[in-house]
Chains A and B, each alone.
Chain A
Amino acid sequence: MTAATAPVRRRRGASGRGLRRGQTAAGWLFTAPVLVILGVFLLVPVLMAAWVSVSDWTGRGSPFAGGVHFVGAQNYGAVLWSGGLAESDFGISLKNNFWYVVLVVPLQTIVALFLAVMVNRRLLRGRGFFRTAYYFPSVTSSVAITVLWLFLFSASGAVNAVIAWFGAKGPNWFNDPDGIFHFGAQTGPAFLTQPTALGVSLWDWIGGPSVAMTAFVLLAVFTTGGTFMLLFLAALQNLSEDVEEAALVDGASSAQRFFRVTLPQLRPTLFTVITLGLIGTWQVFDQIYTGTRGNPSKTTLTPAYLSYQAAFGSNEWGPAAAIAFVLFAIIIVFTLVQRWVLAERAVSKRRMRWITDYQRSLAERPKGGAR
């Protein structure tokens, strides 16, 4: 390379540093559009919102105008410890979204993994068809699919028609505010209804998602299962077949091979899927905006929608920005906890050792002519 470039430098009369300087200019020039746009529409806005969250701006004029004052943590207090409506609304939205996350993340991960394992089977005809069918809901817009969901889960909709085949009567999904873990009970015992957290009683916290929210849970599993299936599928196709074969040769059952050989090797992908799942599910907005707008009885209110509503609906810009930052913090905390939980499970080290042992023994074993 040096031999090739040397004559050029001499011909151009440019030193090595000059060449490098040209690249510096080009480098900044090439990255400038991206940097400017991301800076103006992502970085600056976040800083502006941080200021709004500690100010008393009401949406009129510029937030930097003279009449806008610094109010400290007042907006954060309004949604976190004021004891007022803003706090209980935020509490309800957290409760709703918490159950949504708790149900959607494990379900969509399991569905995605199950679909990937099924589609990845060796002797499968029509694999492309199945993969396409399962992935298709992922490419459609959340608006279109929510509209469809509203119809399918309406009182006399397709889902209830199917439930009726079994002689049961389905709920009025998107209009049913009852928590699914209340099992129809309207009021709870005093020791559960008395204590409150964020303005929401313990009874409501443990009540689980409302029936309406459950329909959104099913929607999320339906649409994201395919996306994450692709991630698992890609990981499965990258796995070494030797280990699987070795386990097969040693007479491991299919369940043993899946849980003790395949699954431990999928850990990085599992990690990615759960992280993306957590980040995505804490931000649910489109479906709520399109479908229920927080109804019935605020049981589908989510922090993201509440933040939007507070700002654009009631001009409560300070508290709305505060909600957004609290949500940001929640997402970070959940992601960190998840990292820690998945990393701490050292059990799989034993399994990994078992796998490497296999690989080693395989390397020592003379290979058949099959390959």
Chain B
Amino acid sequence: MSSLPAAGRIDAVVAPEVASAPRAPRGRGRWTPGRVVGQSAVYVILVAIAVIYIFPFLIDIATSFKTEPDAAANPLSLIPQTWTTAAYQQLFLNSDFPIWFKNSAIVTVFVTLGRVFFDSLAGYALARLNFRGRGVVFAVLVAIMAVPNVVLLIPKFLVINQLGIFDSYAGMILPLLVDAAGVFIMKNFFESIPVAVEEQARIDGAGTFRIFWSIVLPMARPALITIIILSFQGSWNELAHFIVSTSDPSLTTLTKGVAQLASGQLSQGTQYPLKLAAGAIMTIPVAVVFFIFQRRIVNQSAGAVKE
């Protein structure tokens, strides 16, 4: 922590200004040599860490365009000695990869739609509707959230098997279709918007669902976007559930397929360019969602902590 602010040397008089105008550059005269060194050190550290965080992904992309001997000989180089798209051709033309991608996309779309609708529906009921048993529903949801996922690995298989939906899209999608955390996010949001608008609509004779659907839901865009991000990421990156709910190769998702590829069940040799290409492609959709919504991702966690 020795690299922390040289700001300690600022005299008492300027201190309040620092807080009131955070970004405003102060008089150049105040940049003592000590502060310049301190500030530079901070940037050096931040950039060094950023390199550690970004470089592995650059290596991933670069290696996916390398030949196998090149990947083994030059693990750090970001420029392939001979560019080749062999890994991508193999993935798309000569493997089940497109099927995996299709399955992941289907599951993600349905899970995201389902969560947006059902989570907000239940969140609205818990926030606004004054019904008997609300306390019980709430308590059950809290209890369910406390059960760790891994405990459910075997149990989920038991139920899916018992219901006869093993090896089907229903078994892959239904158990993920709602999530308790999403219900809480929606509930908290609905509680934060004023109730007056709904009352006006109620006076005009609108039914409860009508009020929810055409008045409240459109106002809930920020929270809905949060649900979309979390559901998309959650279902696209989900692995364990698909392991226990399917065994049919035609229902393999990206996570399951690439995991099996990685542990060498489906291949010989190291095949790193192929594996890294698969990893890179499966990262693209979440990366796109991340870059579109990144400002909101940061804000959403800000809201979550306050509670």
* A307/B53 in contact, CB under 8 A: no
The docked-state distance in angstroms from the alpha carbon of A367 to that of B19 is 13
Q: How many residues of B contact A (CB 8 A)?
A: 116
In the complex, A348 has a CB within 8 A of chain B: no
The docked-state distance in angstroms from the alpha carbon of A285 to that of B244 is 13
Binary interface encoding of chain A residues 140-161 relative to chain B, with 1 for a CB under 8 A from any of its CBs, else 0: 1111111110111010111011
Secondary structure call for the B interface: helix
In the complex, B221 has a CB within 8 A of chain A: no
Residue of A with least CB distance to B60: A148
In the complex, A78 has a CB within 8 A of chain B: no
* B286/A140 in contact, CB under 8 A: yes
Other-chain residue from B15, B132, B239, B270 in contact with A154 (beta carbon distance below 8 A) = B270
Residue of B with least CB distance to A268: B305
Other-chain residue from A41, A253, A307 in contact with B153 (beta carbon distance below 8 A) = A307
In the complex, B49 has a CB within 8 A of chain A: yes
Tell me which residues across on chain A come within 8 A of B131, comparing CB atoms. 20, 23-28
In the complex, A30 has a CB within 8 A of chain B: yes
In the complex, A269 has a CB within 8 A of chain B: yes
Residue of A with least CB distance to B295: A128
Nearest Cβ on chain A to B207's Cβ, whole angstroms: 8
Other-chain residue from A23, A156, A283, A312 in contact with B150 (beta carbon distance below 8 A) = A283
In the complex, B37 has a CB within 8 A of chain A: no
Q: How many residues of A contact B (CB 8 A)?
A: 119
In the complex, A230 has a CB within 8 A of chain B: yes
* A143/B262 in contact, CB under 8 A: yes
Per the 8 Å Cβ criterion, residues 152-208 of B in contact with A are 152-160, 162-163, 174-175, 177-178, 180, 183, 199, 202-203, 208
In the complex, B91 has a CB within 8 A of chain A: no
Nearest Cβ on chain A to B174's Cβ, whole angstroms: 7
* A237/B302 in contact, CB under 8 A: yes
In the complex, A90 has a CB within 8 A of chain B: no
The docked-state distance in angstroms from the alpha carbon of A299 to that of B17 is 56
In the complex, B224 has a CB within 8 A of chain A: no
Tell me which residues across on chain B come within 8 A of A118, comparing CB atoms. 42, 45-46, 49
* B75/A331 in contact, CB under 8 A: no
* B129/A26 in contact, CB under 8 A: yes
In the complex, A328 has a CB within 8 A of chain B: yes
Other-chain residue from B149, B159, B236 in contact with A283 (beta carbon distance below 8 A) = B149
* A43/B63 in contact, CB under 8 A: no
Other-chain residue from B1, B49, B152 in contact with A42 (beta carbon distance below 8 A) = B152
* B202/A8 in contact, CB under 8 A: yes
* A141/B20 in contact, CB under 8 A: no
In the complex, A68 has a CB within 8 A of chain B: no
The docked-state distance in angstroms from the alpha carbon of A133 to that of B47 is 10
In the complex, A211 has a CB within 8 A of chain B: no
- Partner-binding segment picked from A288-296, A337-345, A351-359: A288-296
Tell me which residues across on chain A come within 8 A of B222, comparing CB atoms. none
Nearest Cβ on chain B to A93's Cβ, whole angstroms: 12
Nearest Cβ on chain B to A73's Cβ, whole angstroms: 18
Among A5, A43, A131, A370, residue most surrounded by chain B Cβ atoms (within 10 Å): A370
Contact A328 B151, CB 8 Å, known A139-B290, A140-B283: yes
Per the 8 Å Cβ criterion, residues 134-162 of B in contact with A are 134, 137, 140-141, 144, 147-160, 162
Tell me which residues across on chain B come within 8 A of A312, comparing CB atoms. 157, 243-244
In the complex, B124 has a CB within 8 A of chain A: yes
Among A31, A119, A121, A321, residue most surrounded by chain B Cβ atoms (within 10 Å): A31
* A38/B178 in contact, CB under 8 A: yes
Residue of A with least CB distance to B72: A156
* B263/A123 in contact, CB under 8 A: no
Chain A interface (Cβ within 8 Å of chain B)? Answer: 1, 4-5, 8, 20, 22-28, 30-31, 33-35, 37-38, 40-46, 48-49, 52, 62-63, 115, 117-119, 121-124, 129-137, 139-148, 150-152, 154, 156-158, 160-162, 222, 226, 230-231, 233-235, 237-238, 241, 244-245, 248-249, 252-255, 257-258, 268-269, 272, 279, 282-283, 285-286, 289-293, 303-304, 307-308, 311-312, 317, 320-321, 324-325, 327-328, 331, 367-368, 370-371
A-B contact list, 15 entries, CB within 8 Å:
A28-B133, A37-B118, A129-B50, A143-B239, A147-B262, A148-B59, A148-B279, A150-B262, A162-B76, A234-B304, A238-B306, A252-B8, A282-B150, A289-B243, A303-B150
Chain B interface (Cβ within 8 Å of chain A)? Answer: 1-2, 4-8, 10, 12, 15-20, 22-23, 25, 39, 42, 45-46, 49-50, 53-54, 56-57, 59-60, 63, 71-73, 75-76, 118-119, 121-122, 124-126, 129-134, 137, 140-141, 144, 147-160, 162-163, 174-175, 177-178, 180, 183, 199, 202-203, 208-209, 212, 233, 236-237, 239-240, 243-244, 254-255, 258-259, 261-263, 270, 272, 275-276, 278-280, 282-283, 286-287, 289-290, 294, 297-298, 301-302, 304-306
| Further contacts, 11 of them, CB under 8 A, given A41-B175, A151-B75 | A23-B131, A46-B155, A48-B162, A135-B297, A143-B262, A147-B261, A148-B57, A230-B298, A241-B19, A255-B4, A327-B150
